[in-house]
């Protein structure tokens, strides 16, 4: 237990420490006798996952939920027992992680499907802390993936690369995103990984001496100019990131200028711009290579200034300038907001990323209250959407209140026109019944066209379903009018005039 607390750079209160110790003891007892594929005790996995999470988000309830996240799925412990022992909040987080286990990536290269799956993952989480737990869980599984069969390794790595790494990126957690990508890349494309790694190592060998020289020279220049700074250090491009960039430059590594970059950690935002001016005063900038992500942050909230300059020897290198808060935000993402608020260091997300505003609609700034911030982590961006599944696992994005009718037409128009009934989660349901988040829907198809009435139109919520029903009704009405003329019945115009 002492090793656990030493692994997380945070000072817990006596009450918080007691709760975590109780969770560790509870998990060890519940998982007693269970082994991982590596042969080690199973409880090591939730404990290591909790340490991974605690290092970027040392919230006691979230750490405890991470320690307990496999309890209800892999032991006889029930959700009710967990709630009685640890309270509704922690039990609710564990339940959220368990439900996320149903969101799986099947073998599909359809980007629309993958994006919908990510949306469903987010919507199913309901609380960003659930996503953080699941990401920490996946990161530890990826670190120990060598103990599972090779074919399963590929499946898990593909899922990580397609779903988990992009979500870590969406949350702005650069440290997790980078590691998840590199670990997955090594398994999914081993030859490409080794080739890219060798290219990187060769390039680093020739540039590493230059980096040390640049660090000293920049430090000397900034001191002479009277600019204080926290740190100057080199940053090496990650293997998967380099692989993707090489594809854009015909695999010519000499065209990539940011393999190694200098990262200057400034004292303030004003100093970031002052340092940029000083760098351009002493080194010739590369035209068009200045990117101001402070004035215009990336969608995930990333803030920094990037510029590329020529060294005296004619080499091009990149410089990244940011404050320590911006750096923590780049590493910890959304978790950094809580981390710095709790320490009274001010609002790290003054310029809130657009996706954050949309995703969980922060109702108000939570200047000095971590509890209020945790409450604001509840996701309501998707409150007007539900995600339902076909029996094969395809995800359909529908509005709240959508019925079986909407689902059928979202799969295929013919399925709607020939629908005779449906099974939802294995049980027979009416076509007018409203669907709920995560339902698995199977449409029962008839050999003959269905008799579509105007009631269908009134029940349908999606524009696509309503358009298809309107089309059917219009054609059906035209058929009646034609039959009236064929039988030489009184004109409908006559009746309208009367």
Residues assigned a catalytic role:
73-74
In angstroms, the CA 104 to CA 366 distance is 34
* CA distances in angstroms from 269 to 93, 237, 273, 321, listed in the order given: 37, 24, 7, 9
β pairing state of 305-310 and 291-292: antiparallel
The DSSP 8-state label assigned to residue 127 in this structure reads B
In angstroms, the CA 101 to CA 124 distance is 10
Other residues' Cβ atoms within 10 Å of the Cβ of residue 356: 22
3-state secondary structure string across 3-54: HHHHCCCCCCCHHHHHHHHHHHHHHHHHCCCCECCCCCECCHHHHHHHHHHH
In angstroms, the CA 22 to CA 16 distance is 10
- Decide if 239 contacts 193 (C-beta within 8 A): yes
Burial class of residue 80, CB neighbours in 10 A (0-12, 13-18, 19+)? exposed
Element (H, E) at 410: helix 404-411
Best CA proximity match to 341, nearest among 327, 329, 353, 358: 329
How is residue 161 written in tokens?
Answer: 């690369």
Specify the 3-state DSSP secondary structure of 278: helix
Q: From the CA atom positions of the chain, what is the Rg in Å?
A: 28
In angstroms, the CA 294 to CA 320 distance is 11
Burial class of residue 486, CB neighbours in 10 A (0-12, 13-18, 19+)? exposed
Other residues' Cβ atoms within 10 Å of the Cβ of residue 207: 16
- Decide if 358 contacts 381 (C-beta within 8 A): yes
Burial class of residue 298, CB neighbours in 10 A (0-12, 13-18, 19+)? middle
Best CA proximity match to 435, nearest among 466, 398, 392: 398
* CA distances in angstroms from 350 to 303, 334, 341, 366, 404, listed in the order given: 11, 12, 12, 11, 43
């Amino acid at each position: 237990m002492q090793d656990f607390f030493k692994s997380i750079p945070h000072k817990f209160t006596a009450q918080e420490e007691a709760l975590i110790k109780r969770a560790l003891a509870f998990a060890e007892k519940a998982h007693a006798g269970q082994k991982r594929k590596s042969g080690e005790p199973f409880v090591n996995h939730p404990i290591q996952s909790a340490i991974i999470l605690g290092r970027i988000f040392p919230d006691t309830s979230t750490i405890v939920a991470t320690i307990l996240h496999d309890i209800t799925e892999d032991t006889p412990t029930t959700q009710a027992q967990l709630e009685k022992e640890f309270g509704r909040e922690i039990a609710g987080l564990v339940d959220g992680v368990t439900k996320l286990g149903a969101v799986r990536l099947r073998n599909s290269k359809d980007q629309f499907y993958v994006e919908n799956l990510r949306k469903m993952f987010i919507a199913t989480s309901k609380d960003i802390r659930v996503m953080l737990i699941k990401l920490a869980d996946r990161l530890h599984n990826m670190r120990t993936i060598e103990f599972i069969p090779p074919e399963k390794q590929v499946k898990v790595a593909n899922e990580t690369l397609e779903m988990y790494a992009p979500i870590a990126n969406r949350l702005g957690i650069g440290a997790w995103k980078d590691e998840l990508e590199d670990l997955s890349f090594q398994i999914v494309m081993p030859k490409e990984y080794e080739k890219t790694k060798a290219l990187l190592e060769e390039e680093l060998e020739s540039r590493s001496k230059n980096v040390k020289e640049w660090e000293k020279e920049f430090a000397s220049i900034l001191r002479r100019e009277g600019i204080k700074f926290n740190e100057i250090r080199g940053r090496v491009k990650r293997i998967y990131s380099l692989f993707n960039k090489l594809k854009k430059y015909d695999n010519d590594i000499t065209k990539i200028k940011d393999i190694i970059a200098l990262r200057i950690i400034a004292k303030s935002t004003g100093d970031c711009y002052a340092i940029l001016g000083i760098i351009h005063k002493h080194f010739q900038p590369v035209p068009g290579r200045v990117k101001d992500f402070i004035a215009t942050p990336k969608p995930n909230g990333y803030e920094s200034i990037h510029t590329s300059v020529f060294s005296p020897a004619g080499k091009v290198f990149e410089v990244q300038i940011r404050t320590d808060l911006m750096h923590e935000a780049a590493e910890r993402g959304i978790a950094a907001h809580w981390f710095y608020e709790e320490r009274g260091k001010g609002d790290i997300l003054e310029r809130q990323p657009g996706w954050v505003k949309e995703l969980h609609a922060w109702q108000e700034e939570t200047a000095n209250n971590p509890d209020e911030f945790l409450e604001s982590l509840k996701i309501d961006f998707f409150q007007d959407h539900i995600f339902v599944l076909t029996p094969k696992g395809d995800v359909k994005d529908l509005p709240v209140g959508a019925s079986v009718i909407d689902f059928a037409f979202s799969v295929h128009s013919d399925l709607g026109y020939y629908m005779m009934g449906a099974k939802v989660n294995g049980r027979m349901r009416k076509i007018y019944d409203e669907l709920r988040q995560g339902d698995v829907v199977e449409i029962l198809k008839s050999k003959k066209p269905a008799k579509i009435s105007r009631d269908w139109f009134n029940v349908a919520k999606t524009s696509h379903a309503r358009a298809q029903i309107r089309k059917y009704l219009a054609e059906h009405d035209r058929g009646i009018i034609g039959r009236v003329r064929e039988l030489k019945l009184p004109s409908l115009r006559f009746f309208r005039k009367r």
